[in-house]
Amino acid sequence: MEDTIFEYKVAIYRENLLGSLFLAGSKVDPVRFSDFLNKNGAQGWEVVTMERESRRMLLFFSREAFLVIMKRKKERAPHA
């Protein structure tokens, strides 16, 4: 019986800085965030946890971001 081994990926998802500059703040677009999650899911990544945060940019502007931790089963090298 083999033990399952996982690999982990930490990603920060945030909108571009232009929205923050023009709107004095930028929220995450749910459609683009879904695309980000689906793209990673298609590669086998599963979200373990995520945390929402607001990051300050250039003193007066802020933008919303998500710290996302994902995992997937690690491929084992074939035995020789």
Domain architecture of the chain: domains with CATH: 6-73 (3.30.110)
- For the entire predicted model, the pTM comes to 0.73
Q: What pLDDT, on a 0 to 100 scale, did the predictor assign at position 55? A: 65
Of 20-24, 25-29, 69-73, where does the model show the most confidence? Answer: 69-73
Place of tokens 């980000």: 36
Report which of residues 8 and 24 the model is more confident about. 8
Could you tell me which of 28, 4, 16 has the C-alpha nearest to residue 57?
A: 16
pLDDT greater than 60 at residue 8:
yes
Find the largest Cα–Cα distance for the chain.
59
Residues 6+ apart with CB under 8 A from 69: 8, 9, 10, 47, 48, 49, 50
Report which of residues 58 and 63 the model is more confident about. 63
Residues 6+ apart with CB under 8 A from 59: none
State CA 54 to chain mean position distance: 14
Q: What pLDDT, on a 0 to 100 scale, did the predictor assign at position 13? A: 93
